[in-house]
Copies of this chain bind each other. A is one copy, B any other.
Amino acid sequence: MIIVFRPDAQTAQIDLIKNMMTAKGLIVKEIQGADTHLLGLLGDTFALCPDLLLRYPFIERVMPVSQPYKLAGRDFHPGDTVIECGGQKIGGGHFAIIAGPCSVESEEQMLSIAREVKSLGANFLRGGAFKPRSSPYAFQGLGQAGLNLLKIAREITGLPVVTEIISAEYLDDFDKHVDIIQIGARNMQNYPLLKEVGRLDKPVLLKRGPASTIDELLMAAEYVLIGGAPVILCERGIRTFETATRNTLDLSAVPVIKEKSHLPVIVDPSHGTGQRNLVEPMSLAAVAAGADGLMIEVHNHPEQALCDGGQSVSADQFDRLVYNIRKLREALEGTRN
Protein backbone atom coordinates (compact mmCIF):
# COMPACT_ATOMS: atom_id res chain seq x y z
CA MET A 1 0.00 0.00 0.00
CA ILE A 2 1.18 3.49 -0.84
CA ILE A 3 0.25 6.61 1.10
CA VAL A 4 0.56 9.92 -0.75
CA PHE A 5 0.68 13.05 1.40
CA ARG A 6 -0.56 16.49 0.40
CA PRO A 7 2.25 18.83 -0.65
CA ASP A 8 1.69 20.93 2.49
CA ALA A 9 1.82 18.01 4.96
CA GLN A 10 3.97 18.75 8.04
CA THR A 11 6.85 16.57 9.23
CA ALA A 12 5.03 15.87 12.50
CA GLN A 13 2.01 14.64 10.57
CA ILE A 14 4.07 12.34 8.40
CA ASP A 15 5.86 11.03 11.48
CA LEU A 16 2.51 10.30 13.13
CA ILE A 17 1.57 8.01 10.25
CA LYS A 18 5.02 6.42 10.08
CA ASN A 19 4.90 5.54 13.75
CA MET A 20 1.35 4.23 13.50
CA MET A 21 2.28 1.92 10.62
CA THR A 22 5.46 0.73 12.29
CA ALA A 23 3.40 -0.05 15.41
CA LYS A 24 1.20 -2.27 13.24
CA GLY A 25 4.26 -4.30 12.31
CA LEU A 26 4.57 -2.93 8.79
CA ILE A 27 7.81 -1.96 7.14
CA VAL A 28 7.70 1.68 6.06
CA LYS A 29 9.69 3.03 3.12
CA GLU A 30 9.73 6.75 2.51
CA ILE A 31 9.98 8.60 -0.79
CA GLN A 32 10.37 12.34 -0.78
CA GLY A 33 10.77 14.81 -3.65
CA ALA A 34 10.20 18.49 -4.31
CA ASP A 35 6.42 18.35 -4.03
CA THR A 36 5.95 14.61 -3.53
CA HIS A 37 6.02 12.80 -0.26
CA LEU A 38 4.89 9.22 0.03
CA LEU A 39 5.22 6.10 2.12
CA GLY A 40 5.36 2.56 0.77
CA LEU A 41 4.08 -0.03 3.24
CA LEU A 42 5.24 -3.63 3.18
CA GLY A 43 3.87 -6.56 5.17
CA ASP A 44 0.33 -7.61 5.90
CA THR A 45 -1.39 -4.44 4.67
CA PHE A 46 -4.41 -6.58 3.98
CA ALA A 47 -6.32 -5.57 7.10
CA LEU A 48 -5.42 -1.91 6.71
CA CYS A 49 -8.44 0.22 5.85
CA PRO A 50 -7.64 2.94 3.28
CA ASP A 51 -10.58 4.94 4.60
CA LEU A 52 -9.00 5.08 8.03
CA LEU A 53 -6.05 6.86 6.54
CA LEU A 54 -8.05 9.19 4.34
CA ARG A 55 -9.59 10.63 7.46
CA TYR A 56 -6.36 12.56 7.96
CA PRO A 57 -6.73 15.77 6.00
CA PHE A 58 -3.00 15.83 5.20
CA ILE A 59 -3.21 12.50 3.33
CA GLU A 60 -4.14 12.92 -0.31
CA ARG A 61 -4.42 9.38 -1.60
CA VAL A 62 -4.03 5.78 -0.54
CA MET A 63 -3.22 3.29 -3.28
CA PRO A 64 -3.51 -0.44 -2.64
CA VAL A 65 -0.95 -2.52 -4.48
CA SER A 66 -1.98 -6.10 -3.85
CA GLN A 67 -5.27 -7.93 -4.51
CA PRO A 68 -7.88 -7.50 -1.77
CA TYR A 69 -9.14 -11.12 -2.05
CA LYS A 70 -7.27 -14.16 -0.81
CA LEU A 71 -9.54 -17.13 -1.48
CA ALA A 72 -10.94 -16.00 -4.83
CA GLY A 73 -7.58 -14.78 -6.16
CA ARG A 74 -5.19 -16.77 -8.29
CA ASP A 75 -2.13 -15.80 -6.26
CA PHE A 76 -2.53 -18.69 -3.86
CA HIS A 77 -4.53 -21.00 -6.18
CA PRO A 78 -2.78 -21.00 -9.54
CA GLY A 79 -4.79 -23.86 -11.07
CA ASP A 80 -8.36 -23.60 -12.37
CA THR A 81 -11.04 -24.78 -9.97
CA VAL A 82 -13.28 -27.56 -11.29
CA ILE A 83 -16.67 -27.79 -9.61
CA GLU A 84 -18.49 -31.13 -9.52
CA CYS A 85 -22.17 -31.28 -8.91
CA GLY A 86 -24.81 -33.90 -9.63
CA GLY A 87 -22.53 -35.79 -11.97
CA GLN A 88 -21.64 -32.71 -13.99
CA LYS A 89 -18.50 -30.55 -13.96
CA ILE A 90 -17.83 -26.87 -14.57
CA GLY A 91 -14.46 -25.21 -15.06
CA GLY A 92 -11.00 -26.33 -16.14
CA GLY A 93 -12.21 -27.25 -19.61
CA HIS A 94 -15.63 -28.58 -18.59
CA PHE A 95 -18.38 -26.54 -20.22
CA ALA A 96 -21.79 -26.00 -18.64
CA ILE A 97 -24.95 -25.36 -20.64
CA ILE A 98 -27.56 -24.31 -18.10
CA ALA A 99 -30.98 -23.97 -19.71
CA GLY A 100 -34.61 -23.65 -18.79
CA PRO A 101 -37.44 -21.19 -18.45
CA CYS A 102 -37.13 -17.75 -16.87
CA SER A 103 -39.78 -18.67 -14.27
CA VAL A 104 -41.19 -22.01 -13.22
CA GLU A 105 -44.84 -21.55 -14.12
CA SER A 106 -46.50 -24.99 -14.00
CA GLU A 107 -45.64 -28.67 -13.89
CA GLU A 108 -46.49 -29.12 -17.56
CA GLN A 109 -44.34 -26.15 -18.59
CA MET A 110 -41.36 -27.00 -16.40
CA LEU A 111 -41.25 -30.68 -17.30
CA SER A 112 -41.73 -30.20 -21.01
CA ILE A 113 -38.96 -27.59 -21.20
CA ALA A 114 -36.72 -29.70 -18.95
CA ARG A 115 -37.10 -32.77 -21.14
CA GLU A 116 -36.56 -30.72 -24.26
CA VAL A 117 -33.41 -28.90 -23.21
CA LYS A 118 -31.95 -32.14 -21.87
CA SER A 119 -32.54 -33.90 -25.17
CA LEU A 120 -30.96 -30.96 -27.00
CA GLY A 121 -27.78 -30.97 -24.94
CA ALA A 122 -28.20 -28.95 -21.76
CA ASN A 123 -26.30 -30.39 -18.80
CA PHE A 124 -27.93 -28.25 -16.09
CA LEU A 125 -31.51 -27.07 -15.58
CA ARG A 126 -32.48 -23.54 -14.59
CA GLY A 127 -35.84 -22.04 -13.62
CA GLY A 128 -36.87 -19.23 -11.27
CA ALA A 129 -39.07 -20.11 -8.29
CA PHE A 130 -38.48 -16.91 -6.32
CA LYS A 131 -38.32 -13.93 -8.69
CA PRO A 132 -36.98 -10.55 -7.62
CA ARG A 133 -39.08 -8.08 -9.63
CA SER A 134 -38.73 -4.30 -9.87
CA SER A 135 -42.49 -3.92 -9.50
CA PRO A 136 -44.36 -5.32 -6.50
CA TYR A 137 -47.32 -5.83 -8.84
CA ALA A 138 -45.41 -8.18 -11.18
CA PHE A 139 -45.46 -11.99 -10.90
CA GLN A 140 -43.12 -12.93 -8.02
CA GLY A 141 -42.67 -16.62 -8.83
CA LEU A 142 -44.34 -19.77 -7.48
CA GLY A 143 -42.05 -19.87 -4.43
CA GLN A 144 -41.79 -23.22 -2.66
CA ALA A 145 -44.21 -24.80 -5.11
CA GLY A 146 -41.74 -23.82 -7.82
CA LEU A 147 -38.86 -25.46 -5.94
CA ASN A 148 -40.93 -28.60 -5.79
CA LEU A 149 -41.47 -28.60 -9.54
CA LEU A 150 -37.73 -28.14 -10.06
CA LYS A 151 -37.13 -31.16 -7.84
CA ILE A 152 -39.48 -33.24 -10.01
CA ALA A 153 -37.76 -31.99 -13.16
CA ARG A 154 -34.44 -33.02 -11.67
CA GLU A 155 -35.69 -36.51 -10.88
CA ILE A 156 -37.08 -37.02 -14.36
CA THR A 157 -34.12 -35.65 -16.32
CA GLY A 158 -31.29 -36.46 -13.97
CA LEU A 159 -29.92 -32.96 -14.53
CA PRO A 160 -28.71 -30.87 -11.60
CA VAL A 161 -30.84 -27.81 -10.88
CA VAL A 162 -29.81 -24.15 -10.51
CA THR A 163 -32.26 -21.67 -9.01
CA GLU A 164 -32.13 -18.30 -7.29
CA ILE A 165 -32.45 -17.67 -3.56
CA ILE A 166 -33.61 -14.22 -2.49
CA SER A 167 -33.91 -14.63 1.25
CA ALA A 168 -32.41 -16.86 3.94
CA GLU A 169 -35.95 -17.81 4.97
CA TYR A 170 -36.06 -20.86 2.67
CA LEU A 171 -32.45 -21.92 3.10
CA ASP A 172 -33.37 -25.44 4.21
CA ASP A 173 -35.53 -26.03 1.15
CA PHE A 174 -32.72 -24.88 -1.10
CA ASP A 175 -30.30 -27.11 0.76
CA LYS A 176 -32.52 -30.14 0.21
CA HIS A 177 -33.78 -29.67 -3.32
CA VAL A 178 -31.35 -27.49 -5.25
CA ASP A 179 -27.94 -28.44 -6.66
CA ILE A 180 -26.48 -25.01 -7.33
CA ILE A 181 -27.78 -21.99 -5.44
CA GLN A 182 -27.92 -18.83 -7.48
CA ILE A 183 -27.36 -15.39 -5.98
CA GLY A 184 -28.89 -12.92 -8.41
CA ALA A 185 -27.44 -9.62 -9.53
CA ARG A 186 -29.60 -7.60 -7.14
CA ASN A 187 -28.29 -9.59 -4.17
CA MET A 188 -24.61 -9.68 -5.09
CA GLN A 189 -23.88 -7.41 -2.15
CA ASN A 190 -26.43 -8.92 0.25
CA TYR A 191 -23.63 -10.01 2.54
CA PRO A 192 -25.71 -11.77 5.21
CA LEU A 193 -27.22 -13.96 2.48
CA LEU A 194 -23.79 -14.62 0.95
CA LYS A 195 -22.52 -15.79 4.33
CA GLU A 196 -25.54 -18.05 4.85
CA VAL A 197 -25.30 -19.83 1.49
CA GLY A 198 -21.53 -20.09 1.88
CA ARG A 199 -22.06 -22.29 4.92
CA LEU A 200 -24.04 -24.89 2.99
CA ASP A 201 -22.07 -27.55 1.21
CA LYS A 202 -23.23 -26.58 -2.26
CA PRO A 203 -21.84 -24.65 -5.20
CA VAL A 204 -23.04 -21.05 -5.42
CA LEU A 205 -23.61 -19.35 -8.76
CA LEU A 206 -22.88 -15.69 -8.09
CA LYS A 207 -24.09 -13.16 -10.63
CA ARG A 208 -22.32 -9.85 -11.10
CA GLY A 209 -24.36 -6.83 -10.05
CA PRO A 210 -25.18 -4.42 -12.87
CA ALA A 211 -23.11 -1.67 -11.25
CA SER A 212 -20.42 -3.85 -9.70
CA THR A 213 -16.82 -3.91 -10.74
CA ILE A 214 -15.01 -7.17 -11.28
CA ASP A 215 -13.09 -6.58 -8.06
CA GLU A 216 -16.34 -6.17 -6.13
CA LEU A 217 -17.65 -9.41 -7.66
CA LEU A 218 -14.53 -11.21 -6.46
CA MET A 219 -14.90 -9.65 -2.99
CA ALA A 220 -18.51 -10.88 -2.89
CA ALA A 221 -17.27 -14.35 -3.86
CA GLU A 222 -14.85 -14.12 -0.97
CA TYR A 223 -17.81 -13.82 1.44
CA VAL A 224 -19.14 -17.15 0.14
CA LEU A 225 -15.76 -18.89 -0.06
CA ILE A 226 -15.00 -18.10 3.59
CA GLY A 227 -18.00 -20.29 4.47
CA GLY A 228 -16.58 -23.17 2.47
CA ALA A 229 -18.86 -23.37 -0.56
CA PRO A 230 -17.33 -23.24 -4.05
CA VAL A 231 -18.34 -20.39 -6.35
CA ILE A 232 -19.16 -20.08 -10.05
CA LEU A 233 -19.08 -16.49 -11.26
CA CYS A 234 -21.54 -15.21 -13.85
CA GLU A 235 -21.27 -12.15 -16.10
CA ARG A 236 -24.77 -10.91 -17.02
CA GLY A 237 -24.33 -7.39 -18.27
CA ILE A 238 -23.57 -4.07 -16.63
CA ARG A 239 -25.53 -0.85 -16.64
CA THR A 240 -24.35 1.76 -19.09
CA PHE A 241 -25.80 4.65 -21.07
CA GLU A 242 -26.53 2.41 -24.09
CA THR A 243 -30.24 1.62 -24.44
CA ALA A 244 -30.14 -0.60 -27.55
CA THR A 245 -29.60 -3.58 -25.22
CA ARG A 246 -31.05 -4.03 -21.73
CA ASN A 247 -27.54 -4.22 -20.27
CA THR A 248 -24.09 -4.08 -21.82
CA LEU A 249 -22.67 -7.59 -21.72
CA ASP A 250 -19.07 -7.14 -20.58
CA LEU A 251 -17.35 -10.10 -22.19
CA SER A 252 -13.91 -8.71 -21.34
CA ALA A 253 -14.84 -9.68 -17.81
CA VAL A 254 -14.28 -13.32 -18.77
CA PRO A 255 -10.55 -13.12 -19.56
CA VAL A 256 -10.03 -10.48 -16.86
CA ILE A 257 -11.54 -12.76 -14.19
CA LYS A 258 -9.62 -15.76 -15.54
CA GLU A 259 -6.43 -13.83 -14.97
CA LYS A 260 -7.31 -12.71 -11.47
CA SER A 261 -9.17 -15.77 -10.20
CA HIS A 262 -9.21 -19.56 -10.37
CA LEU A 263 -13.03 -19.75 -10.22
CA PRO A 264 -15.15 -20.83 -13.22
CA VAL A 265 -16.87 -18.00 -15.11
CA ILE A 266 -20.06 -18.40 -17.08
CA VAL A 267 -22.09 -15.90 -19.12
CA ASP A 268 -25.82 -15.19 -19.21
CA PRO A 269 -26.54 -13.69 -22.63
CA SER A 270 -30.32 -13.78 -22.06
CA HIS A 271 -30.34 -11.22 -19.25
CA GLY A 272 -27.15 -9.64 -20.53
CA THR A 273 -28.80 -8.46 -23.75
CA GLY A 274 -32.54 -8.75 -23.11
CA GLN A 275 -33.14 -9.73 -26.73
CA ARG A 276 -33.57 -13.24 -28.07
CA ASN A 277 -31.93 -12.44 -31.41
CA LEU A 278 -28.71 -11.48 -29.61
CA VAL A 279 -28.53 -14.66 -27.55
CA GLU A 280 -26.79 -16.75 -30.20
CA PRO A 281 -24.10 -14.28 -31.34
CA MET A 282 -23.28 -13.33 -27.76
CA SER A 283 -23.23 -16.99 -26.66
CA LEU A 284 -20.70 -17.81 -29.35
CA ALA A 285 -18.70 -14.73 -28.44
CA ALA A 286 -18.69 -15.80 -24.78
CA VAL A 287 -17.37 -19.24 -25.76
CA ALA A 288 -14.63 -17.64 -27.87
CA ALA A 289 -13.71 -15.31 -25.00
CA GLY A 290 -13.08 -18.35 -22.81
CA ALA A 291 -16.25 -18.74 -20.74
CA ASP A 292 -16.76 -22.00 -18.83
CA GLY A 293 -20.47 -22.12 -19.53
CA LEU A 294 -23.65 -20.37 -20.54
CA MET A 295 -26.99 -19.79 -18.89
CA ILE A 296 -29.78 -19.64 -21.44
CA GLU A 297 -33.48 -18.97 -21.09
CA VAL A 298 -35.63 -21.28 -23.20
CA HIS A 299 -39.40 -21.13 -23.48
CA ASN A 300 -41.89 -23.48 -25.00
CA HIS A 301 -45.17 -21.62 -25.44
CA PRO A 302 -44.33 -17.96 -25.67
CA GLU A 303 -47.92 -16.83 -25.42
CA GLN A 304 -48.23 -18.23 -21.89
CA ALA A 305 -44.97 -17.08 -20.34
CA LEU A 306 -45.35 -14.88 -17.29
CA CYS A 307 -42.14 -12.88 -17.52
CA ASP A 308 -39.06 -11.94 -19.52
CA GLY A 309 -40.48 -13.10 -22.82
CA GLY A 310 -38.31 -10.94 -25.00
CA GLN A 311 -35.08 -12.69 -24.21
CA SER A 312 -36.07 -16.39 -24.20
CA VAL A 313 -35.18 -18.51 -27.22
CA SER A 314 -37.36 -21.25 -28.68
CA ALA A 315 -36.41 -24.92 -28.61
CA ASP A 316 -35.39 -24.72 -32.27
CA GLN A 317 -33.12 -21.80 -31.61
CA PHE A 318 -31.64 -23.60 -28.61
CA ASP A 319 -31.03 -26.71 -30.69
CA ARG A 320 -29.09 -24.72 -33.27
CA LEU A 321 -27.24 -22.83 -30.55
CA VAL A 322 -26.01 -26.02 -28.85
CA TYR A 323 -24.85 -27.40 -32.19
CA ASN A 324 -22.98 -24.20 -33.00
CA ILE A 325 -21.40 -23.99 -29.55
CA ARG A 326 -20.08 -27.52 -30.01
CA LYS A 327 -18.60 -26.66 -33.41
CA LEU A 328 -16.96 -23.58 -31.98
CA ARG A 329 -15.53 -25.41 -28.98
CA GLU A 330 -14.03 -28.07 -31.24
CA ALA A 331 -12.38 -25.35 -33.30
CA LEU A 332 -11.04 -23.62 -30.21
CA GLU A 333 -9.42 -26.85 -29.10
CA GLY A 334 -7.46 -26.74 -32.35
CA THR A 335 -6.17 -23.24 -31.76
CA ARG A 336 -2.66 -22.44 -30.59
CA ASN A 337 -1.81 -21.36 -27.08
By a beta-carbon cutoff of 8 Å, the part of chain A in contact with chain B is 2, 4, 7, 16, 20, 27, 29, 31-36, 38, 40, 42-43, 46-47, 49, 51-57, 63, 65-66, 68-69, 75, 132-139, 166-169, 186-187, 189-193, 209-211, 213-216, 219-220, 222-223, 226, 238-245, 248-256, 259, 272-273, 276-278, 281-282, 284-290, 299, 302-303, 305-310, 312, 320, 323-324, 327-328, 330-332, 334-337
Contact = CB atoms under 8 A, between A and B. Distances in A.
Contacts of A303: 16, 20, 55-56
B191 A132 contact: yes
A331 B324 CA distance: 9
A144 to B, nearest CB: 14
Interface residue SS majority, chain A: mixed
A42 B31 contact: yes
A224 to B, nearest CB: 9
Interface centre among A69, A137, A288 (most CB of B within 10 A): A288
Of all A-B residue pairs in the complex, the 8 with the closest CB atoms, nearest first, are A55-B309, A211-B211, A54-B310, A331-B331, A33-B42, A31-B40, A167-B192, A284-B288
A30 to B, nearest CB: 8
A248 B247 CA distance: 12
Contacts of A306: 49, 52
Contacts of A192: 166-167, 169
A335 B331 CA distance: 11
A293 B281 CA distance: 15
